[in-house]
């Protein structure tokens, strides 16, 4: 029995009951239950709208970052992507806001730090968060009208979903092709091997729950009327879950919703809870996917085993399953990791591995990438579960999991409300009581009590009930080198079939529709109906976070950390690393938290880390000097714990930095390299525009050139190369082990090391200074000065457009040009210019006309780079031409006025003033050298940018200035050819 009306001394019972009286009615909503949760400093309020039955969850919490979300249960009727396309088109204009794409236009009329919409397997969410009360009201009004009163115009369906259109809209003799934003978005998704594996797995284990995002082969079967009908059936208050969070008054949101719901009655909730396959016996499905060009042919196969384990409505049993999944699969000490990955049976777990409770059933899945013998894998998994069901569970690992849960509750997150919304609503739409999901301490208390009484049987019974000798879903994806080609052929055949059915009248309609759509896209709109904040709503004074330096090499920030201490250290590498070792720096940093020491396995270190700390990490960081743009290269290590356990952070740092043994653990080093190589292609498919942008900008910026070596295409090439020599012991030692040993000698030193601590008292700072001094004295005091000065790191050649060859269905493009340092007066107008180009020009040209999923311009203030990009783009060369002509458009055709500049400024300050976590306060000074004074000057410069400033920077930095182009994706026949194009194969 849940204790819905429990109270603690920190909560005034009478005050809560007065504000939210159970049984009381607030603007048509009856208060059904309230649940104070002192450990999370919140009160949950459950309300139901009397007229429509719509459910509302309010989280009352003293947090200025307020959240509003509308969610709908949207079971997809087929794989045409109708829920996804509806998500796009509802945001293309509504009765109250009859403008094209009010959602996108609100992005630069608001100070929201998050605005989006997302389609899940059987739900659709529309969330936003903002700290500004007027902004909250504006966005709430736009979201409510967009979802309940969308215009759903046919041209929006054609633009966002799919259409037949001439490749050259103005030429009726040009080829007819498929276009559409969602169509190209999902073609890009299919190019992501991890996504393709997951969606194929999900479609087969859950055939009743079709692909809600849309299968590109099926999207072109969707008709406009299907969209309208789906909205009518699903976007109704009776089928809605609404959510508010923060410190703004609940009454105002309920009043607005109640006003909207007057036009609706109550519907019977006919949305079925769809279930997966009924496994009466082992069921096997085999399919094919894209071969990974960065992996050897024999390590391409992916396979998984899945068991259905009850329903998420039983929140306690779901919690037990999650703990079990964590024990079995999470970390180096977990049995499945050791027996399946460390043994070399596979490269890493598949994307569907773990416990999944997001739909109407719980799954526990064990899957491997890079399997060579599927039957061996299956036998091994069954053997492991049999052994685990009879053997003891490590109590220390169980306690470590609980400690991690407790710590995560105490750790302040700036987007806590948004995370809560996105975690509660999906399961809520499948009848999981959100109050039960919030009872964190009650669940932990029950778990500890049951563990004490039942011991290991608590987990063993789960395994015996759901896994041992129970039907299993077996899923395997074989690689096909012709996968991309087959998809291309299928698309051509599908297109040809549709075109063959067109008569001359149809073709005339397509031609005129294309012209009409382009005319609408080009038309200047009256946006007066849209609400907007003003630049005057932006505070002129920057938020500051006082940082002190109790010692020359110790920086400290004292704030309310809820009893947690965050520790960071950085070691300068400015001239200590030879050029040939730069690409190995990320592998060195990754190795520290993967291998182990001379006397200890990493699994034991990791267990201690989880038991006593919130986590330890290490990385290589390169940043540009805010005054000179010179690169600053550092090795960074960080960790956090309760105030009482900071000694454990320093002890683990000491082990990892001083005792990591690359030679003794060379086999684990090989596992790490294989794992990195196995995920590279999917990483590029997910963020190809970032790789293209990084490569292009490395021709102008030394900082970006180093970054390209550390995290870009050149890093992918290195990992690919190292993955190919793992079987040659002598070569592996020479090319990998010896170089990491050399890096350790060059990196780990007490010379120049600096520390930044964030804690909650001056007394704690004093205590930490003693621990810091002891830690620093344990490090060697040697220092190497014979490396390459980071400022001398060579740029990439800038005389080519580059195509980085990947077998994707769409492309990603970028064009980069140099700007100025952070403190230069032209930096602010360049940043405003980038936003003007994005919102006033590139969105229309790249997305609406070109059909790319995304595109725009951004100005990296710290790196001093102006970058253009497109994302999942069917026409990358046209996008590059648009980027190249952006300066001429801005000067000759844009005619921007003060309101346009104001909107661009608002969009910039969404990020500038976005709430940050307590642990991040003041860190920009430590890591980037940006002082409060610099930030204040920059803020004033941004607020004061004029049209004259914009014109000046266009002339100086953009108009007829050289840039470098990069495209990620397959070669474009007859166009991306040498010598104009350099082809980079991985």
Q: Are 92 and 147 in contact (CB under 8 A)?
A: no
CA atoms within a 13 Å half-sphere pointing along the CA-CB vector of 283: 14
Q: Does pLDDT of 6 surpass 80?
A: no
Q: Does pLDDT of 4 surpass 70?
A: no
**What confidence tens digit (pLDDT) does each residue in 30-88 have?**
999 999 998 888 999 999 999 999 999 999 999 999 999 999 999 999 999 999 999 99
342: CB partners within 8 A, 6+ apart? 332, 668, 671
Q: Which residues pair with 640 in a beta bridge?
A: 566, 615
- Asked which of 248-262, 399-413, 602-616, 957-971 is least confident by mean pLDDT, the reply is 399-413
Q: Band of the pLDDT at 14, cuts 50, 70, 90?
A: low
Q: What is the pLDDT of residue 883?
A: 97
CA atoms within a 13 Å half-sphere pointing along the CA-CB vector of 111: 23
Q: Report the C-alpha gap between 919 and 413 in whole angstroms.
A: 9
How much is the pTM? 0.93
Q: What is the pLDDT of residue 201?
A: 97
**What confidence tens digit (pLDDT) does each residue in 211-264 have?**
999 999 999 999 999 999 999 999 999 999 999 999 999 999 999 999 999 999
Q: Band of the pLDDT at 13, cuts 50, 70, 90?
A: low
Q: Report the C-alpha gap between 183 and 753 in whole angstroms.
A: 51
As a whole number, mean pLDDT of residues 277-281 equals 93
**What confidence tens digit (pLDDT) does each residue in 752-786 have?**
999 999 999 999 999 999 999 999 999 999 888 89
**What confidence tens digit (pLDDT) does each residue in 526-567 have?**
888 999 999 999 999 999 999 999 999 999 999 999 999 999
Q: Which two tokens stand for residue 688?
A: 């190809």
Q: Determine if the peptide bond prior to 415 is cis (ω within 30°).
A: no
**Each residue of 215-235: b (16+ CB within 10 Å) or e?**
bbbebbebebebbbebbeebb
Q: Does pLDDT of 9 surpass 80?
A: no
Q: Backbone dihedral region of 125: left (phi > 0), alpha (psi from -120 to 50 degrees) or beta? A: beta
Q: Report the C-alpha gap between 786 and 576 in whole angstroms.
A: 6
Task: Name the phi and psi angles at 312, rounded to 5.
Answer: -65, -15
**What confidence tens digit (pLDDT) does each residue in 690-711 have?**
999 999 999 999 999 999 999 9
H/E segment holding residue 815: strand 811-818
Residue 398's alpha-carbon distances to 330, 331, 611, 658, in angstroms, are 12, 13, 9, 29
Q: Band of the pLDDT at 680, cuts 50, 70, 90?
A: confident
Q: Is 928 exposed, middle or buried (0-12, 13-18, 19+ CB in 10 A)?
A: middle
Q: Report the C-alpha gap between 669 and 664 in whole angstroms.
A: 10
Q: Report the C-alpha gap between 680 and 521 in whole angstroms.
A: 37
Residues 277, 281, 285: CA angle, nearest 5 degrees: 60
Q: Which residues pair with 964 in a beta bridge?
A: 816
Q: Report the C-alpha gap between 509 and 315 in whole angstroms.
A: 54
Of 903, 892, 897, 913, the C-alpha closest to 960 is 892
Of 408, 414, 409, the C-alpha closest to 129 is 414
Of 855, 849, 854, the C-alpha closest to 159 is 849
Q: Does pLDDT of 584 surpass 80?
A: yes
**What confidence tens digit (pLDDT) does each residue in 715-727 have?**
999 999 999 999 9
Q: Report the C-alpha gap between 606 and 608 in whole angstroms.
A: 5
Tell me what percent of the residues of the chain surpass a pLDDT of 70. Answer: 98
**What confidence tens digit (pLDDT) does each residue in 86-130 have?**
999 999 999 999 998 888 889 889 999 999 999 999 999 999 999
Q: Report the C-alpha gap between 831 and 818 in whole angstroms.
A: 12
Report the residue count for the chain. Answer: 986
As a whole number, mean pLDDT of residues 20-29 equals 95
Widest distance between CA atoms in the chain: 84
Residues 762, 766, 770: CA angle, nearest 5 degrees: 160
CA atoms within a 13 Å half-sphere pointing along the CA-CB vector of 186: 27
Q: Does pLDDT of 440 surpass 90?
A: no
Q: What is the pLDDT of residue 11?
A: 43
Q: Does pLDDT of 1 surpass 50?
A: no
Average pLDDT of the chain is 94
Alpha carbon distance, N-terminus to C-terminus of the chain: 59
Residues 486, 487, 489: CA angle, nearest 5 degrees: 65
Q: Report the C-alpha gap between 386 and 464 in whole angstroms.
A: 9
H/E segment holding residue 118: strand 118-119
Q: Band of the pLDDT at 8, cuts 50, 70, 90?
A: very low
Q: How is 42-94 classified by DSSP, letter by letter?
A: EEEEEEEETTT--EEEEEEES-SSEEEEEEEE---SSSS-HHHHHHHHHTS-B
Q: Are 910 and 605 in contact (CB under 8 A)?
A: no
Tell me what percent of the residues of the chain surpass a pLDDT of 90. Answer: 89
DSSP state of 596: B
Residues with a known catalytic role:
87, 160
Task: Name the phi and psi angles at 64, rounded to 5.
Answer: -75, -15
As a whole number, mean pLDDT of residues 667-687 equals 91
Q: Does pLDDT of 7 surpass 80?
A: no
Q: What is the pLDDT of residue 270?
A: 62
Q: How is 480-527 classified by DSSP, letter by letter?
A: ETTHHHHHHHHHHHHHHHHHHT--HHHHHHHHHHHHHHHHHHHSPP--
Q: Band of the pLDDT at 391, cuts 50, 70, 90?
A: confident
Q: Report the C-alpha gap between 219 and 213 in whole angstroms.
A: 9
Residue with tokens 């204040």: 936
Q: Report the C-alpha gap between 389 and 385 in whole angstroms.
A: 6
Q: Are 507 and 829 in contact (CB under 8 A)?
A: no
Beta strands in 391-465 (DSSP E): none
Residue with tokens 């525009």: 689
Of 310, 262, 305, the C-alpha closest to 285 is 305
Please report how the helices 315-329 and 395-410 are oriented relative to each other, as an axis angle in degrees rounded to 10.
Answer: 120
Please report how the helices 688-697 and 702-711 are oriented relative to each other, as an axis angle in degrees rounded to 10.
Answer: 140
Residue 732's alpha-carbon distances to 660, 726, 727, 735, 986, in angstroms, are 18, 6, 8, 5, 20
Q: Are 931 and 545 in contact (CB under 8 A)?
A: no
H/E segment holding residue 550: strand 548-551
């Amino acid at each position: 029995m849940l204790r819905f009306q429990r109270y603690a001394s920190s909560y005034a019972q009478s005050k809560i009951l007065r504000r939210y009286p159970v049984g009381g009615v607030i603007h048509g909503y009856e208060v059904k239950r309230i649940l104070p949760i002192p450990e999370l400093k919140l009160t949950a309020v459950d309300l139901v709208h009397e007229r429509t039955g719509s459910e509302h969850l309010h989280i009352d919490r003293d947090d200025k970052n307020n959240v509003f979300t509308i969610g709908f249960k949207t079971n997809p009727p087929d794989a045409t992507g109708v829920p996804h396309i509806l998500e796009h088109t509802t945001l293309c204009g509504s009765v109250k806001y009859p403008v094209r794409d009010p959602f996108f236009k609100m992005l630069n009329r608001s100070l929201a730090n998050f605005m989006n919409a997302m389609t899940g397997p059987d739900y659709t969410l529309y969330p936003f968060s903002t700290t500004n009360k007027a902004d909250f009201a504006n966005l709430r009004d736009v979201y409510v009208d967009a979802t309940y009163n969308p215009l759903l115009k046919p041209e929006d369906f054609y633009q966002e979903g799919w259409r037949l259109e001439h490749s050259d809209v103005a030429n009726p003799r040009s080829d007819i092709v498929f276009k559409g934003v969602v169509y190209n978005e999902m073609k890009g998704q299919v190019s992501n091997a991890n996504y393709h594996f997951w969606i194929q797995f999900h479609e087969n284990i859950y055939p009743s729950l079709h692909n809600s995002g849309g299968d590109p082969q099926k999207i072109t079967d969707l008709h406009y009327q299907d969209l309208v009908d789906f909205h009518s059936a699903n976007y109704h208050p009776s089928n809605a879950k609404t959510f508010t969070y923060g410190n703004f008054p609940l009454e105002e949101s309920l009043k607005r919703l109640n006003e909207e719901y007057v036009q609706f009655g109550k519907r019977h909730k006919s949305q079925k809870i769809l279930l997966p396959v009924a496994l009466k016996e082992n069921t096997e499905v085999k399919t094919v996917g894209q071969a990974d060009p960065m992996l050897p042919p024999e390590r391409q196969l992916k396979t998984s085993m899945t068991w259905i384990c009850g329903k998420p409505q039983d929140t306690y049993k779901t919690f037990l399953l999650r703990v079990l999944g964590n024990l079995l699969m999470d970390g180096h000490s977990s049995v499945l990791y050791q027996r399946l990955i460390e043994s070399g049976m596979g490269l890493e777990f598949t994307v569907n591995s773990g416990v999944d409770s997001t739909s109407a059933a719980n799954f526990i899945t064990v899957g491997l990438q890079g399997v060579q013998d599927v039957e061996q894998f299956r036998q091994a998994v069954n053997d492991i579960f049999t052994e685990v069901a009879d053997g003891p569970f490590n109590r220390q690992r169980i306690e470590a999991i609980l400690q991690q849960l407790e710590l995560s509750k105490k750790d302040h997150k700036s987007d806590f409300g948004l995370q809560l919304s996105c975690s509660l609503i999906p399961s809520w739409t499948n009848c999981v009581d959100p109050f039960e999901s919030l009872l964190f301490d009650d669940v932990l208390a029950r778990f500890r009590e049951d563990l004490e009484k039942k011991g290991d049987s608590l987990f063993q019974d789960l395994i015996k009930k759901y896994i041992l000798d129970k039907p299993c879903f077996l899923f395997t994806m074989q690689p096909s080198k012709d996968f991309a080609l087959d998809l291309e052929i299928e698309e051509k055949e599908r297109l040809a079939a549709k075109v063959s059915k067109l008569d001359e009248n149809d073709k005339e309609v397509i031609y005129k529709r294309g012209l009409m759509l382009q005319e609408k896209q080009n038309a200047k709109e009256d946006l007066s109906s849209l609400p907007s904040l003003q630049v005057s709503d932006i505070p002129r004074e920057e938020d500051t976070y006082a940082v002190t330096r109790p010692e020359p090499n110790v920086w400290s920030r004292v704030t309310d950390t809820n009893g947690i201490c965050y520790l960071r250290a950085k070691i300068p590498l400015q001239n200590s690393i030879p050029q040939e070792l730069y690409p190995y720096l990320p592998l060195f940093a990754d190795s520290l938290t993967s291998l182990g020491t001379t006397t200890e396995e990493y699994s034991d270190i990791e267990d201690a880390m989880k038991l006593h700390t919130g986590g330890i990490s290490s990385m290589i960081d390169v940043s540009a000097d805010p005054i000179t743009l010179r690169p600053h290269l550092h090795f960074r290590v960080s960790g956090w714990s309760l105030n009482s356990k900071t000694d454990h952070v320093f002890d683990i740092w000491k082990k990892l930095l001083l005792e990591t043994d690359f030679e003794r653990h060379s086999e684990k080093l090989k596992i790490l390299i294989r794992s990195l190589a196995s995920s590279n292609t999917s990483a590029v498919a997910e963020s190809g525009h970032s790789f293209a942008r990084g490569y292009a900008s490395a021709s102008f910026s030394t900082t970006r050139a180093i970054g390209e070596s550390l995290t870009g295409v050149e890093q992918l090439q290195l990992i690919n190369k190292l993955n190919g020599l793992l079987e040659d012991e002598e070569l592996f030692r020479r090319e990998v082990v010896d170089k990491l040993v050399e890096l350790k000698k060059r990196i780990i030193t007490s010379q120049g090391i600096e520390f930044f601590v964030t804690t909650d008292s001056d007394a704690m700072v004093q205590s930490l200074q003693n621990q810091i001094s002891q830690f620093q004295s344990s490090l060697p005091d040697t220092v190497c000065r014979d490396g390459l000065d980071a400022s001398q790191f060579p740029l990439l050649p800038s005389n080519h457009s580059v195509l980085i060859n990947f077998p994707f269905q769409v492309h990603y493009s970028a064009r980069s040009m140099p700007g100025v340092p952070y403190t230069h007066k032209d930096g602010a107008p360049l940043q405003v210019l980038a936003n003007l180009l994005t919102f006033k020009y590139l969105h229309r040209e790249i997305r609406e006309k070109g059909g790319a999923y995304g595109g725009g311009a951004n100005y990296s203030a710290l790196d001093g780079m102006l970058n253009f990009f497109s994302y999942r783009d069917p026409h990358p060369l046209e996008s590059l031409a648009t980027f190249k002509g952006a300066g001429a458009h801005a000067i000759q055709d844009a005619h921007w006025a003060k309101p346009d500049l104001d909107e661009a400024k608002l969009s910039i300050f969404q990020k500038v003033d976005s709430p940050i976590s307590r642990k991040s306060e003041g860190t920009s000074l430590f890591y980037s050298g940006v002082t409060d004074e610099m930030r204040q000057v920059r803020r004033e410069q941004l607020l004061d940018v004029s049209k004259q400033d914009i014109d000046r920077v266009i002339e100086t930095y953009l108009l007829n200035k050289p840039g470098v182009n990069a495209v990620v994706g397959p070669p474009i026949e007859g166009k991306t050819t040498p010598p104009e194009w350099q082809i980079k194969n991985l």
